[in-house]
Amino acid sequence: MAEQRADSPGVAGLWLWRHPRAQGAAGRCIGRTDLPVDRRRAKRLAHRIRRTARQQGLPRVVWTSPLQRCADVGRWLARWGWQHRTDARLLELDFGRWDGQPWTAIAHADVAAWEADFAHHAPGGGEALAALVARCRQFIAEQGGATPLLLVAHAGWMQASGLGSADGLRASAWPPAPRHGALLRRSGP
């Protein structure tokens, strides 16, 4: 997998791997829907994380959301002696009543309303992107920034983690989702 680098203020090093592709997610709005991942793909990503940590001298601690598409990778690492920590602040955006639905079943007017107020409109009555950005910033700040953080993360969390604020955020400026299994590195200023 190709590695992407970006800046994230206030952290010594943030190593974010996107979780493996969830089973049954194609064509659906997936935020907090807890879908499984193929066991082999979870193990393969855990091997890549372990190898990268060994090569880069990174701590043997991985953070994940409690959803199985992230946590399964952490559980593999825990089998190999790593510390696996979960935190609800690492969850994907809450899409409310949209979550788990086929995108084709979500009214175009509802999507347009979200796009018109991208940062502050809560899609499906769930969570606004501004709240996700705030969760990211809070989690990163609480870790102290002295030790690199290794996370198996959701695409929305990875995208939001690079933003200092959601103010003025437009749908057209939202970064593309990293590929499943891709590594995104963020470093402090």
Instruction: Flag whether pLDDT at 112 surpasses 80.
Output: yes
For residue 19 the two structure tokens come to: 């979780």
pLDDT of the residue at 78:
99
Calculate the average pLDDT of the chain.
92
Number of independent structural domains in the chain: 1
In a domain, 60, yes or no: yes
Q: Look at the block and give the residue holding tokens 């079943």.
A: 105
In a domain, 129, yes or no: yes
pTM of the predicted model over 0.75? yes
pLDDT of the residue at 166:
85
> Cα(18)–Cα(160) distance, rounded to whole angstroms?
13
For residue 93 the two structure tokens come to: 């955006």
- The CATH code of the domain that includes 112 is 3.40.50.1240
- pLDDT confidence of 145, banded at 50, 70, 90? confident
Burial (0-12, 13-18, 19+ Cβ within 10 Å), 57: exposed
Element (H or E) spanning 18, and its range?
A: strand 14-18
In a domain, 186, yes or no: no
- Write out pLDDT tens, residues 10-41: 446 899 999 999 999 999 999 999 999 999 99
Domain limits at 155? 3-179
pLDDT of the residue at 188:
55
